[in-house]
């Protein structure tokens, strides 16, 4: 009986803490970063990025560069969300300018962290995971901020389409990487998308966000239709590209993933989160998406960020991606509340689940980073080596 309870406790501890097993940590030693493809403007920006990294002192850790950029990006995006909680309001012009600057700074720092790692000889799987983790969060806040700039709260399902497309595209990029062992970039990729977002921020700063609601001459359609169409076409092409990579078979034995699992297995996590997100929004009695699009899409986006990070970890450790995830507790609570006749106030419950989601994401990322850093005998934000007394034996 004692062994049974110990076994149960180990399972609970695993689900709550989501610790990496010794086998997964061992798999990190086999991981090597692999990427392929160059986007349209990357060769031009490489000149700027090579110049910029030379301005950074050699004692600065790459992860410090990444986290500084992310903090700036989050602060500017949250400032816009505070001014425009329903994505229909108009914020002061300087807030749009700050978002343009914040995103460009994030893009610049995100582009040079890898160069700094190679420059200082500190490249590691932890740095790669940390970079992808920051990107997953940036994707969420930037996509929502862009929608706010165009005041798409007046068209909540269009706003949901743009945000969900960004979340799913980011996930599918790492899904194909989990299958092929290589992260593929297209001609139009993240750099071009970020520059497009900067342009939208600057347009709202110079002409006001109302410009996106104005009708175009001759065509007679709102200006925001143009970027929405670009998203629709771009995501369609991107999804087709990723689908070909996934269905052509993986780099594992018999065409399996890098972990030896089915190439379709990561699709289950994607389907569950997407199904929860769409179902809760469509069945909401108080119309959470229509009245509170920012907080709702932020909530669903952070869940996507969590499952995407777990996919990256599965790829780097060559392990199976588990379907069960603590981040799904929030959507499950909202879904059950709807199923049983809205016993609790939906808006209050949304905020409660949102807070739980943030805590869960921070807990998972911090615990995973610390565990990997301990295993690799390095620090997260320092280039110094760990003393022997602190090293993981």
Question: Exposed, middle or buried: residue 269 (CB in 10 Å: 0-12, 13-18, 19+)?
Answer: buried
Query: Quick one: which of 282, 326, 333, 338 has its CA closest to 302?
Result: 326
CA distance 321 to 151: 37
CA distance 201 to 95: 9
Q: What are phi and psi of 352, to 5 degrees?
A: -65, -45
**Crossing angle between the packed helical segments 329-339 and 266-283, to the nearest 10 degrees:** 40
| Tokens, residue 17 | 């803490």
CA distance 159 to 270: 19
Q: Indicate the SS3 state at residue 313.
A: helix
CA distance 311 to 309: 5
Task: Count other C-beta atoms under 10 Å from residue 45's C-beta.
Answer: 16
Has 155 been annotated as catalytic? no
The number of CA neighbours under 13 Å toward the Cβ of 104 is 16
For residues 147 and 159, the answer to whether their CB atoms sit within 8 Å is yes
| Tokens, residue 304 | 């996507």
Which residues touch 2 (CB under 8 Å, ≥6 apart)?
none
Torsion on CA atoms 365, 370, 373, 377, rounded to nearest 10 = 180
| Tokens, residue 173 | 């990029």
Q: Indicate the SS3 state at residue 213.
A: helix
Pick the catalytic residue: 132, 155, 224, 315?
132
Catalytic residue set: 132
């Amino acid at each position: 009986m004692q062994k049974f309870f110990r076994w149960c406790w180990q399972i609970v501890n695993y689900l709550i803490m989501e610790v990496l097993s010794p086998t997964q940590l061992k798999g990190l030693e086999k991981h090597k970063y692999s990427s392929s493809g160059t986007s349209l403007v990357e060769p031009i920006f490489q000149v700027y990025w090579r110049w910029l990294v030379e301005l950074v002192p050699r004692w600065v850790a790459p992860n410090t560069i990444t986290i500084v950029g992310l903090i700036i990006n989050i602060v500017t995006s949250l400032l816009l969300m505070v001014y425009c909680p329903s994505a229909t309001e108009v914020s002061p012009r300087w807030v749009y300018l700050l978002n343009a600057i914040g995103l460009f700074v994030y893009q610049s720092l995100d582009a040079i962290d890898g160069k700094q790692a190679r420059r200082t000889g500190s490249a590691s799987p932890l740095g790669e995971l940390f970079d992808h983790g920051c990107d997953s969060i940036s994707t969420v806040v930037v996509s929502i901020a862009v929608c706010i700039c165009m005041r798409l709260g007046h068209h909540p399902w269009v706003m949901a389409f743009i945000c969900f497309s960004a979340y799913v595209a980011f996930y599918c990029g790492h899904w194909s990487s989990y299958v092929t062992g290589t992260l593929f970039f297209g001609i139009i990729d993240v750099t071009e998308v970020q520059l497009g977002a900067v342009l939208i921020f600057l347009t709202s700063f110079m002409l006001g966000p109302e410009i996106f609601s104005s009708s175009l001459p001759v065509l007679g359609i709102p200006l925001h239709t143009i970027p929405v169409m670009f998203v629709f076409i771009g995501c369609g092409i991107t999804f087709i590209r990723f689908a070909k990579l996934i269905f052509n078979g993986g780099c594992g034995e018999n065409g399996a993933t890098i972990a030896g699992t089915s190439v379709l297995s990561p699709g289950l996590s994607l389907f569950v989160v997407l199904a929860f997100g769409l179902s809760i929004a469509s069945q909401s009695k108080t119309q959470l998406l229509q009245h509170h699009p920012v907080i709702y899409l932020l909530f669903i986006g952070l869940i996507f960020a969590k499952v995407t990070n777990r996919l990256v970890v599965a790829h780097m450790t060559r392990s199976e991606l588990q379907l069960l995830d603590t981040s799904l507790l929030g959507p499950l609570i909202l879904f059950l509340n709807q199923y049983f006749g809205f016993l609790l106030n939906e808006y209050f419950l949304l905020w409660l689940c949102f807070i739980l989601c943030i805590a869960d994401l921070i807990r998972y990322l911090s615990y995973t980073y610390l565990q990997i850093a301990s295993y690799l005998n390095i620090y997260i934000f320092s280039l110094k080596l760990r003393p022997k007394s602190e090293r993981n034996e």
